[in-house]
Amino acid sequence: MKKLNGKIVDEEELEEEEEKKKVVETHSNGVGVSVGFPQPDQNLVVGYALTVKKETSFLKPNFRGLARTKGIKFVCIDVNRPLSDQGPFDVVLHKLLAKEWCEIIEDYRHKHPEVTVLDPPDAIQHLRNRKSMLQGVVDLNLSDCHGKVGVPRQIVVTKDPSSIPYEVTKAGLKLPLVAKPLLVDGTAKSHKLFVAYDQLSLAELEPPLVLQEFVNHGGIVFKVYIVGESITVVRRFSLPNHGKRDLSKVAGMYPVPRVSSYLSSAEDADLDPSIAEHPPRPLLEKLATELRRRLGLRLFNIDMIREHGTRDVFYVIDINYFPGYGKMPDYERVFTEFLLSLVQSKYKESTFLKSSF
């Protein structure tokens, strides 16, 4: 992490394509957006602390324009100044990983309970470790929601690489295995995944890491975006299935492209319906509700796969805090409505408390 003109620059590779910046004349919900649009009498002030890359991909001109028409004002937080000296804010939106920042925002939360912080640093911390990341899914019972959700079998390896083949055999894991760095720290390295096809290649891996059994899923992953109560699902291409015959011809270890790096989504692809069908809505709603409660987060996404050859067996393979919402369809409207709902909830709560006295 580095500071640049008071902003934070992370070490991740820049996203492959940035949409051309523009202010849309007409939004999909029929709200006109233009530079000279009259400003509302009252503003919702959202302070944000994001990396330069995140600010560019998330706070696009068309999103800012729509938010402005609804009275939402985005203000960049200067990390070189005390946070309490800035604002006042109604909402603080952040995704910085430095320990110093986490301490600052945690202190701010306690001193300013009237401000909604998205999200609490201690809750975010659970998603920065792939051991704790999926723990909330392990004991879920969603059998009455038109499907089953689990986690692929996995182990955590923190010891010397030469012990990995033994640990895998001891745990009874079957090849191929997906190797993921244990910590998600915002660097490009923390997102580098590998698929290991034989025992010998396992010793080439660098702990600490998580080894997860590869589950055939028809080459499709479902990106489930959560924004408060809103759920949006997008299909993306993923790794192809591996048959026994294929595995007999493959050896070694190969890097896995990031799901977010696939240039095109799979929404319009001509796919077998048994592969393309989205997970059942009741299942997603129950899963999202449970994870919101267990994680204590309102902004995250779930990477889900359907086990190939089944219709209702799903696995959660990753959970990410504050993902790339800029790639989510209609995110401008969804996020704008979410921010407004936070104010409405506070107003109702305040009105209720006043009427109680």
Binding site for ATP, by residue number, is 130, 180, 212-223, 238
Which residues, in sequence order, are CB contacts of 345 under 8 Å at separation 6+? none
Given a contact cutoff of 8 angstroms between Cβ atoms, the answer to whether 318 and 190 are in contact is no
Going by the annotation, the residues of the binding site for 1D-myo-inositol 1,3,4-trisphosphate are 54, 95, 191, 223, 320, 324
Whole-angstrom Cα distance, residue 93 to residue 48? 5
Known binding-site residues for Mg(2+) equal 303, 318, 320
321's CB contacts (< 8 A; 6+ apart) are 95, 119, 124, 127, 297, 299, 300
Amino acid at 230: S
Strands 91-94 and 44-49 turn out to be parallel
Q: Which two tokens stand for residue 271?
A: 């796919």
Helices then strands, counting H and E runs in the chain, come out as 12, 16
Q: What is the b/e burial string over 242-257, where b = at least 16 CB atoms within 10 angstroms of the residue's CB?
A: beeeeeeeeeebeebe
| Residue positions forming the annotated binding site | 54, 95, 130, 180, 191, 212-223, 238, 303, 318, 320, 324
